[in-house]
Structure 1
């Protein structure tokens, strides 16, 4: 039985694509182990899926000044040592990384142990963790053909994003039951990513009186960001985070308001969901979501409202515009050429394993 170690964390977007690959490899008889950070969201997701999880020390990689930048490199060094010893013990045939700061010590430890690494970059341009890791990986998979220009040599391959089978098997009637909704009004799903988005949450709640006249709203608002004052609003349902039921919620929803993280928007694309995207600003990120959103808008899969322009009026107008043009958006999405990323990546894993 071959063994593979997965890594990746910091947000759900660095974890959930791994699950798509893991389920297929487990069905083929592979032994799967996961190395992640001690306190990251990946631990909850992976342990919930019944996969063996091994926590290591990790420090966040920042492009800006922060006092934590002084001590976090020492956490990374400690994590390399922990990952090195784990890999010596686990003896995997290959490592697969989905990125995030926890992946750096695992990839460096894999290189030191001469274990091949396949990594995946979701965004248009590589994040800092993947930039650091590229010299030490065997192959790096990307979502966008434009991303290949950032990768030297022959390491890059455009595979697209692995999509979890579970996300495509939702049942709308279960979503209606969960939210106590009906079918007389369309359902709008609002999500700001696994960590939430305070400004989106605030503007959505300020817009409820108008929005609830036309829509029912499922609001995934992030950990600690539920506002109990809105618990009894008919047609409005709040969740901190949804795991198993997300497929049912998506099956029920007719359109989505979301950040522009690559994992989320490619899952919406696979499910043919019209989108209103509100990407993170350059002040709050490295600008990857702006590129993702611009690409989807150009291809006609989404409309965009930039956060600096986000008001109750712009949100309501954007949602209504997407709803009015949803059939045209669905037609464009349906005609999009989509590869089976999971199968392509599994082929690479098998070709590059020890």
Structure 2
């Protein structure tokens, strides 16, 4: 009986790809469990599956000066101890890490027990957690070809994508659930699983302009509802359990430039206006993700520094008007679903 640990957290992008692998992993592993943080969004995502969930103490490095960084060593050591104790009980055969700060104690605990680890990096540049744990991994798989070249044990394979992205749907029914009748193209706005205050604020100010030509579906993030009465042609929600439904009705999308959302949108050929996260709170990964796809002609970049209701409306209108050219570029650079390949690489650890 083979047992696999999945780990990764902090944002939905660190755990949803793990869920995408499940249909394939279950062919080789009798038992699959998830190691995540106590209060991270991964707990909510995993709760919708049948996976047992174990929370592990962990700590996020804050890029600005913070006294909370002083507690990191204690929390990581505590996480290693707890993760190791659980591993001694369930005796896993392998670990697959999707990165994020919770992965650090889990992977270190696995290495100390000679449990093989495969990790995956979604972004164009390697995140801090994956930099730390890469030395303990058999391989670090990557979503971008260039990223693999920066790692001694890197291997390009693409990104695991949910099969539900490609399943048929009743578009009219989905539109109706948001109060739309299909008479206008749909603009999807999402700031990622954590939301994005500046995008939310600018979109709401731009609604008188945007709703002239678009129905606007706004996924604003937990705790970010405006509290205002809904207006015609505008629907806001904190989070969507089936984000793929939003992608299937979207004619154009405004989003950050997290790799997972980007790859999903491009896989179903939705023209995007990207507003990458920038500043001291980030290592700049989203800026590089956005630049990569802009060079391919498959997305438009609107820097946050010039984001206004007017510039947003212009960028959205331009992306929609040029949708045919953008989709032709997408055809030339198709997004690769690596779910089957990654699952095979993980399963090979058993042999």
Range into which the TM-score falls when normalised by the shorter chain: over 0.9
Whether the 8 Å contact between 1:187 and 1:252 is mirrored in structure 2 is yes
Q: Secondary structure at the match of 1:238?
A: strand
Aligned to 2:157: 159
The reply on whether 1:187 has 2:186 as its aligned counterpart is yes
Change (3 A) 1:31 1:334: same
TM-score norm. by structure 2 comes to: 0.97
Whether the 8 Å contact between 1:118 and 1:141 is mirrored in structure 2 is yes
Residue 170 of structure 1: CA displacement?
5.6
Aligned to 2:52: 52
Residues 1-354 of structure 1 aligned to structure 2 (within 5 Å) = 1-27=1-27, 30-152=30-152, 155-169=153-167, 171=169, 172-229=171-228, 231-244=229-242, 246-353=243-350
**Partners in 1 of 2:166 and 2:294 — Cα distance?**
23
CA deviation profile, 1:107-139 (whole Å, cap 9, x unmatched): 000100100000000111111100100111111
Whether the 8 Å contact between 2:263 and 2:335 is mirrored in structure 1 is no
Q: What is the alpha-carbon root mean square deviation over aligned residues?
A: 1.3
Q: Secondary structure at the match of 1:298?
A: helix
Whether the 8 Å contact between 2:172 and 2:181 is mirrored in structure 1 is no
Whether the 8 Å contact between 1:170 and 1:248 is mirrored in structure 2 is no
Deviates more, 1:105-114 or 1:338-347: 338-347
**Partners in 1 of 2:150 and 2:73 — Cα distance?**
25
Residue 282 of structure 1: CA displacement?
3.0
CA deviation profile, 1:167-212 (whole Å, cap 9, x unmatched): 3226222321210101110001000010000000000000000100
5+ residue gaps in structure 1?
none
Residue 23 of structure 1: CA displacement?
2.4
Q: Secondary structure at the match of 1:162?
A: coil
**Partners in 2 of 1:213 and 1:116 — Cα distance?**
55
**Partners in 1 of 2:325 and 2:94 — Cα distance?**
43
Whether the 8 Å contact between 2:25 and 2:347 is mirrored in structure 1 is no
Residue 27 of structure 1: CA displacement?
5.0
Whether the 8 Å contact between 1:170 and 1:247 is mirrored in structure 2 is no
Whether the 8 Å contact between 2:64 and 2:281 is mirrored in structure 1 is no
Residue 59 of structure 1: CA displacement?
0.8
TM-score norm. by structure 1 comes to: 0.96
Residue 249 of structure 1: CA displacement?
1.7
